[in-house]
Chain A
Amino acid sequence: MLVSVYRYNPEIDDAPYMQDIHIDIPGGKDIMVLDLLQLLKDKDPTLGYRRSCREGVCGSDGMNMNGLNGLACITPLSEVVESDKLVLRPLPGLPVIRDLVVDMTQFYTQYEKIKPFLINDTPPPAIERLQSPEERAELDGLYECILCACCSTACPSFWWNPDKFIGPSGLLQAYRFLADSRDTATAERLTDLDDPFSVFRCHGIMNCVAVCPKGLNPTKAIGKIRNMLLAQAT
């Protein structure tokens, strides 16, 4: 099969280019894209990409495969290859450090802005802050986010305003703490989000939902933030 890989080494190359590599898959098996990248790296050790757990938990190997963002380690070739061809590009919108490795600073800066930790100004109980099973269930579909950035880098609003729009990933996390019964900073968190950019750049096109490798729904979480803002302000 033919693999077209985005290559850019700022120390050598003046501009990025696409490198076409023909490769035979051993035994014609349906391997994961990450395994294919390893085969490519065996051929050309200069190819750079991030990977760690190789089972969709660490969120390191987010990349753009035939136009769709996803995690290379849990995406089988059969899911993305079309006409025996696969185009591999880094996550769109973020600055490229080298080949498929992107600089995630903007993404993490937005994540930091939503204060991704429990804030509770009441005296801590002797053992722990308890939640009822129902209160705990509110966090399902939110806490599973692994911050792979597949969603935020698939979002045009994040491409145009990565310094102002929190992005789907950060907003999913924002709602994770707004929905937590143990957090007491709800009003402050909402006030921080009520500007024309942080939340309201989301126009609900749901690219984030389409690409999330964990099957989460940031658009729904953003809708709930909006409802909380409305309830607070009307």
Chain B
Amino acid sequence: MVTSITSFGRSGLYDWMFQRVTAVVLLAFTVFMMGYMLFNPNLDYQQWSQLFGCSPMRIFTLLAILSMAAHAWIGMWSISTDYIKPTGFRFLFQSACGLLMFVYVAWGIQILWGV
């Protein structure tokens, strides 16, 4: 067994399952948003803020943001362990990715509850 302390869930199976579950959430969110924009061609601010003002949509969007962060972390971690061999650079890259994901999540929540 290969040990790893920087992967998302420490277990290969856990990461694998999480990446698939988050992919389904992101697919559902993308399909919903595309459908919404397709059926509402002349969107105005009123309609837009009404959509994101209701709790179910906020929960769905927050789920999508968290899914994106987890999905991206697992993917970027895989890429870093494949291609960046010097430990220092790899850790730096992983830290930068982690910070970016956190910023996106915090920023997303701020936007969502600022509507």
Residues on A lying within 8 angstroms of B by beta carbon are 157, 160-161, 164, 191-201, 226, 229-230, 233
Contacts and interface: CB of A to CB of B under 8 A. Distances in A.
Most buried by B among A164, A196, A197, A198: A196
B5 to A, nearest CB: 11
B83 A196 contact: no
A189 to B, nearest CB: 11
A200 B13 contact: yes
Contacts of B82: 157, 160-161
A196 B11 contact: yes
B13 A198 contact: no
Contacts of A193: 1, 12
B15 A196 contact: yes
Return the 10 tightest CB-CB contacts between A and B, nearest first. A200-B12, A160-B82, A197-B2, A196-B12, A196-B7, A195-B2, A164-B2, A229-B13, A195-B1, A195-B12
Most buried by B among A157, A192, A200: A200
A29 B61 CA distance: 67
Interface of B: 1-4, 7, 10-13, 15-17, 77-78, 81-83
A195 B4 contact: yes
A200 B7 CA distance: 12
A194 B1 contact: yes
Contact of B15 (A161, A164, A200, A230): A200
Nearest to B77: A196
Contacts of B83: 160
Contacts of B15: 196, 200
A191 B7 CA distance: 17
B106 to A, nearest CB: 26
B2 A226 contact: no
A168 to B, nearest CB: 16
A197 B4 contact: yes
B11 A191 contact: no
B13 A233 contact: yes
Most buried by A among B10, B11, B15, B83: B11
B88 to A, nearest CB: 18
Given A161-B81, A164-B2, A195 B11 contact: yes
B12 A197 contact: yes
B12 A198 contact: yes
A63 to B, nearest CB: 25
A230 B1 contact: no
7 contacts: A193-B1, A194-B1, A196-B2, A197-B2, A199-B12, A200-B15, A226-B16
